[in-house]
Amino acid sequence: MSDKKLQIIPLGGLGEFGMNCMAIRYGDDIIVVDAGMMFPDAELLGVDIVTPDFTYLEQNREHVRGLVLTHGHEDHIGGIPFLLSQMQIPVYGTAFTLALVERRLDEHKLSDKAKLNTVKPGDKLKLGPFSIEFIHVTHSIVSCVALAITTPLGVIIHTGDFKVDPTPTDNELFDLHTLAEYGKRGVLLLLSDSTNVDRPGYTESERAVGPRLEDLFVRTKRRLVLSCFSSSIHRLQTIIDLAQEHGRKVAFLGRSMNNTTEIAHDLGLLTIPNGILLRPQDIMQQAPGKLAIIVSGTQGEPMSALSRVAVDNHKSLSIEPGDTVVLSSRIIPGNEKAIYRMINHVAKRGADVVYGSMNPPVHVSGHGSAEELRLVLNLVRPKYFVPVHGEYRQMSKHAKLAQHLSHLGLEDTFVLESGETLEIDGKGARKGEKVTVGRVCIDSGSLDEVVEDMVIRDRRHLSADGFLIPIIAIDKNTGRPEGLPEIVSRGFISLDESSELMQDARQVVVKTLESSSAEERGDWGVMKEKIRADLKRFIGKQTKSRPLIMPVILEV
């Protein structure tokens, strides 16, 4: 067995935020850690979500022993329906994580095919040559685990997302003891979250948000509208406890908020006192000073509950002067414009808006800062180190942080990007061959959902330069055009029938037709291509624009 290699194969999430997916291979056995998604950049027009390209797993489907999940955030579980639609493999995760996965699978009508297996911290799982122990860690979502994966060559620790919270609101402490035990016995490789490596010191405890929220409950005389990530069960519990303490009823708005709180309540992870919940349709009948409304949509998503409330387009809630709206979440980079636009709409309605950094804070991160990352490195003391979950600059900084420790040198730390592999054998560790990775764009409104690169390129082209449609009527008996061609334009420069450019463009089409042989005119495919080429050259020379040109030939 010693001649077999251990391979670390990141399929997403390294060098980018989101799409976290890592394959670990020993010989002919593969396990997969997480299968996430990311939200699209502005340039991916019309795309709803982006998932990793699972080609490598498809090509090796007979070797994949299972999918192991660290926690239930979308950037770790959002790609699962798309992976399971391509191949059937067992899935392992905590009860809360799997309940969130099940909702996703229901939406894609895949729940019957999925084999979901519940685990809990402390459990050990055997998959081929891999033995996996689940270790409880603290994060901004409940039921998170790190993974200790014992392989024939040594132990791999995968932290998942984490922060070391010394005072978690549910009193479930980060299991540093088990990490330290593995460190004492010897760890071959550490894969550790890099998200907050830029932040010095320690990330504040979830409890730090309590005083600020309590102050808002005390000071707010009218409605208190609070928005946070629906997966932040600890934060929701704090809000519900404060609402009960201050005699306010609680209403949930937003599909994701209702779904997640229902799951958490069913699993005993969220305590909702009897009589405190209010139906959304009763909000406007309730005395404003007796209300706390918890709304999803912190990132300004166009159709989210909070975005609709902000423009007074929600059937259950209207913001009125004197109300207070609280964004208890971070602004995810790239979402700034949408969020500030939403805040402006709320402010126009006379409400106070509380957001951003303040002391005490209204939001704390779920990721460990530099000192927590250093603590984990010191406890685990790995032989090799690969930073994960972050952009390249963050992973590079995390690698340098590791190299400052006495036992890790430059040759022991590897900054990988998605598709780059790490090979470990008896002789040591080195970068291996690259594997196929990429992004798969999903447009949930389209029939086959997957959006090809060509479609996105066309959308980008249309958004920048618009299109021209020359319509040519041809006599089917003579093959000659019937009158001047018509030209329809959208998103290009404003053209009317009498404009000089329009007249010249029509003449270009006429000349192309006249200069073509009878044989060419009889082949419409050839004629469309000739018209497109000549018109493209003419428009480019006249306007420096490149509209999409789609000739239409009608037989009359």
- Given the residues 34, 161, 175, 193, select the one marked as catalytic: 193
d(CA 418, CA 435): 9
Residues 66 and 41 sit within 8 Å (Cβ to Cβ): no
28 counts as catalytic? no
Which of 187, 181, 130, 119 has the alpha carbon at shortest distance from 156?
A: 187
How many CA within 13 A on the CB side of residue 37? 21
Which of 112, 153, 99, 108 has the alpha carbon at shortest distance from 131?
A: 153
Residues 481 and 510 sit within 8 Å (Cβ to Cβ): yes
CA angle, corner 421, sides to 420 and 426, nearest 5?
A: 155
Say whether the peptide bond before residue 361 is cis (omega within 30 degrees of 0). Answer: no
HEC per residue, 276-301:
CECCHHHHHHCCHHHEEEEECCCCCC
Q: DSSP code of 476?
A: T
Local structure of 108: helix, strand or coil: coil
**Alpha helix positions (H), 23-85:** 55-59, 74-77, 80-84
Which of 416, 439, 335, 419 has the alpha carbon at shortest distance from 79?
A: 439
Residues 6+ apart with CB under 8 A from 145: 70, 71, 94, 119, 121, 134, 135, 136, 137, 160
193 counts as catalytic? yes
Which of 519, 518, 515 has the alpha carbon at shortest distance from 533?
A: 515
- Given the residues 367, 412, 443, 465, select the one marked as catalytic: 367
Place of tokens 């699978």: 105
d(CA 514, CA 516): 6
Q: What are phi and psi of 438, to 5 degrees?
A: 165, -170
Residues 24 and 435 sit within 8 Å (Cβ to Cβ): no
d(CA 307, CA 111): 31
List active site positions. 193, 367
